[in-house]
C-alpha cells in the first residue's frame, strides 16, 4: 500500500471525535476533530483517484441534490463525489415535483429519502432562509426515521446557503494546507478576505463568512476588508473573533483593500452584495413584490460602482508579502477585459494564478465525498484501508 496513503489513514484513525451520523450544515458547528477528519479523508480519496484506485463503498443507494440556485463547480463536484463512492444521483427539480401542488417540506423530504444516503442542498438566494430550509429537511428526515418510516436517516450536506459554503471553504483550507505544507504551517499566515468590485450585485455572503470563520480556527491572521455597507452577519463575525482568540490567530476588519493586502500571504478578493440590500431583496421576494426588484438592483449596482477601485491589480498584489501572495477565488471570477469590462481581478493577475484556482477547485469533489464517507461510516479509516487493498484499478489503463 502507498506509504503516503497509509500515513493519512493512521492520522485519520487516531481522531477520537468525528462526523459519524451527523449532517454538515455549518463549519462553525463542527469540532476541530470533525473538520480534520473530513480533510484527511478527502486527501485519502484524492490519492486513491490519482492512483486510479476505486473508492466504491456503497453497492446501492441514492444521493439527492436540490439546487435552488445556478451552479457549475458544486453541482458537478457533488455528482462526481457520489458516483466515486458508488451512489446513484437524482436531482430534485422542484418545478417538476408536487411542491407546486402544496406538498410540504416535511413530506417532500420523506418521499425522497426511502433509499437515500445523502441529500445535498444549495439554497443561497434568500438571506435568513437557506440554512433554515436545510434544517427543516434535516428535522423532517429525523422525524420519519424516529417514527420508523425510514429504515435509515440520510445525511444532509450544505452545498451553499445564505450563511456558509462548507464544501467550498474546506476545499480552500485543503488547498492552503497543500500549498504551505501542513495545517500547522498556516499559523501566523495572513489571509486577506476582501470585497472586490463586480458589475453584478446578487452574490451571497456565504463564501466570505465561511472563510473568516474557518481560517480563524487554524491560527491565521484573517483580515476582512470591505467598503461601508458590505458588512457580514454578526453570527459569522462573532465566531471568527472567538476562534481567533482560541487558536492564537488574529481577526481584524478594515475598510481599505490596500491595508488588507499589505504583507498578506494569501488574498481572496471576492464580491458580495450589500447586507441591507440582500435583506430588502429577501423581503421583496418573500412578499412577491417583484416590481421593486429592478429599483433595488439599480441601488445595489450604484453602490458597487462607488467602489470600482476595489480591484485586484498587479499593483495591489505588489503590496503582499514579497509580492508573491497566493491568489484564491471560488470561481467564476469577474475578470476585467475578459468576462466583463471591469471586475474583481485584472486579467494579468488572474491568468498568473489561473491554474492555482483550478487546483483549489479540484479539492471540492473529494471534500464532499469525505463528508459522505465520514457521516455514513463509523470508522472511515478502516473503510478506506479495505478499499485501498482491492487488487484492481478503478478503470482499465490505456
Residues 248-266 have pLDDT tens digits of 999 999 999 999 999 999 9
Nearest to 7 by CA among 131, 135, 161, 182: 182
> Which of the pair, 166 or 275, is modelled with greater confidence?
166
Residue 250: the pLDDT is 98
Nearest to 280 by CA among 229, 337, 223: 229
**Partners of residue 254 on adjacent β-strands:** 225
Nearest to 272 by CA among 165, 389, 170, 137: 165
The C-alpha atoms of residue 327 and residue 345 are separated, in whole angstroms, by 10
Domains 3-164+365-388 and 168-361 share a fold: yes
Predicted confidence (pLDDT) at residue 392 exceeds the cutoff of 70: yes
The C-alpha atoms of residue 328 and residue 7 are separated, in whole angstroms, by 28
How sure is the predictor about 398, in pLDDT bands with cuts at 50, 70 and 90?
low
Residue 88: the pLDDT is 98
| Average pLDDT for 111-132 | 94
The C-alpha atoms of residue 158 and residue 29 are separated, in whole angstroms, by 12
Least confident residue range of 187-196, 218-227, 274-283: 274-283
Nearest to 269 by CA among 192, 331, 200: 192
pLDDT tens-digit series, residues 26-72: 999 999 999 999 999 999 999 999 999 999 999 999 999 999 999 99
The C-alpha atoms of residue 171 and residue 365 are separated, in whole angstroms, by 9
Q: How far is CA 99 from the centre of its chain?
A: 27
Q: Which CATH architecture has domain 168-361?
A: 3-Layer(aba) Sandwich (3.40)
Average model confidence (pLDDT) across the chain = 94
Q: Cis omega before residue 74 (within 30°)? A: no
> Which of the pair, 225 or 394, is modelled with greater confidence?
225
How sure is the predictor about 390, in pLDDT bands with cuts at 50, 70 and 90?
confident
pLDDT tens-digit series, residues 140-173: 999 999 999 999 999 999 999 999 999 999 999 9
The C-alpha atoms of residue 254 and residue 258 are separated, in whole angstroms, by 9
Overall CATH class of domain 3-164+365-388: alpha beta
Residues in the chain, overall count: 398
Nearest to 182 by CA among 40, 283, 73, 319: 40
pTM of the model: 0.96
Residue 166: the pLDDT is 98
DSSP letter (8 states) at residue 337: T
Domain ranges of the chain: 3-164+365-388, 168-361
How sure is the predictor about 1, in pLDDT bands with cuts at 50, 70 and 90?
low
pLDDT tens-digit series, residues 199-248: 988 799 999 999 999 999 999 999 999 999 999 999 999 999 999 999 99
pLDDT tens-digit series, residues 291-330: 788 888 888 899 999 999 999 999 999 999 999 999 999 9
How sure is the predictor about 24, in pLDDT bands with cuts at 50, 70 and 90?
very high
Residue 8: the pLDDT is 95
pLDDT tens-digit series, residues 360-378: 999 999 999 999 999 999 9
Residue 276: the pLDDT is 85
| Average pLDDT for 82-86 | 98
Nearest to 115 by CA among 75, 140, 88, 84: 88
Residue 285: the pLDDT is 78
Alpha-carbon separation of residue 280 from 98, 142, 227, 289, 290 (angstroms): 29, 33, 19, 11, 12
| In the chain, % of residues over pLDDT 90 | 82
DSSP letter (8 states) at residue 323: G
Do the Cβ atoms of 173 and 211 come closer than 8 Å? no
CB atoms within 10 A of CB 104: 12
Alpha-carbon separation of residue 330 from 76, 142, 210, 233, 271 (angstroms): 14, 32, 12, 20, 11
Amino acid at each position: 500500500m502507498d506509504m503516503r496513503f497509509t500515513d493519512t489513514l493512521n492520522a485519520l484513525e487516531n481522531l477520537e471525535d468525528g462526523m459519524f451520523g451527523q449532517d454538515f450544515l455549518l463549519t462553525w458547528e463542527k469540532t476541530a476533530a470533525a473538520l480534520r477528519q473530513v480533510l484527511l479523508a478527502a486527501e485519502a480519496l484524492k490519492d486513491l483517484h490519482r492512483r486510479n484506485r476505486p473508492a466504491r463503498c456503497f453497492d446501492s443507494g441514492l444521493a439527492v441534490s436540490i439546487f435552488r440556485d445556478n451552479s457549475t463547480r458544486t453541482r458537478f463536484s457533488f455528482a462526481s463525489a457520489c458516483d466515486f463512492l458508488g451512489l446513484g444521483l437524482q436531482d430534485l427539480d422542484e418545478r417538476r415535483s408536487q411542491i407546486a401542488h402544496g406538498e410540504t417540506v416535511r413530506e417532500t423530504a420523506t418521499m425522497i429519502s426511502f433509499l437515500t444516503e445523502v441529500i445535498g442542498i444549495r439554497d443561497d438566494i434568500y438571506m435568513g432562509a437557506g440554512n433554515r430550509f436545510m434544517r427543516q429537511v434535516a428535522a423532517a428526515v429525523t422525524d420519519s426515521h424516529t417514527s420508523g418510516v425510514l429504515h435509515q436517516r440520510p445525511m444532509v450536506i450544505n452545498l451553499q446557503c445564505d450563511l456558509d459554503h462548507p464544501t467550498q471553504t474546506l476545499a480552500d483550507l485543503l488547498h492552503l494546507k497543500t500549498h504551505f505544507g501542513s495545517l500547522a504551517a498556516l499559523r501566523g499566515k495572513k489571509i486577506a478576505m476582501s470585497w472586490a468590485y463586480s458589475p453584478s450585485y446578487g452574490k451571497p455572503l456565504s463564501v466570505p463568512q465561511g472563510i473568516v470563520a474557518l481560517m480563524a480556527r487554524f491560527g491565521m491572521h484573517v483580515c476582512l476588508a470591505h467598503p461601508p455597507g458590505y458588512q457580514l452577519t454578526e453570527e459569522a463575525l462573532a465566531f471568527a473573533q472567538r476562534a481567533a482568540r482560541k487558536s492564537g490567530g488574529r481577526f481584524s476588519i478594515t475598510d481599505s483593500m490596500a491595508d488588507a493586502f499589505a504583507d498578506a500571504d494569501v488574498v481572496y478578493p471576492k464580491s458580495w452584495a450589500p447586507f441591507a440590500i440582500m435583506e430588502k431583496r429577501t423581503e421583496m421576494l418573500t412578499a412577491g413584490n417583484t416590481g421593486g426588484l429592478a429599483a433595488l438592483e439599480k441601488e445595489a449596482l450604484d453602490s458597487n460602482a462607488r467602489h470600482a477601485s476595489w480591484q485586484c491589480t498587479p499593483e495591489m498584489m505588489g503590496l503582499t508579502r514579497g509580492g508573491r501572495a497566493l491568489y484564491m477565488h471560488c470561481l467564476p471570477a469577474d475578470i476585467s477585459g475578459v468576462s466583463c469590462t471591469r471586475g474583481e481581478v485584472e486579467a494579468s493577475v488572474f491568468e498568473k494564478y489561473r491554474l492555482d484556482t483550478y487546483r483549489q477547485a479540484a479539492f471540492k469533489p473529494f471534500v464532499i465525498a469525505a463528508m459522505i464517507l465520514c457521516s455514513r461510516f463509523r470508522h472511515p479509516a478502516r473503510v478506506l484501508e479495505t478499499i485501498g487493498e482491492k487488487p484492481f484499478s478503478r478503470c482499465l489503463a490505456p
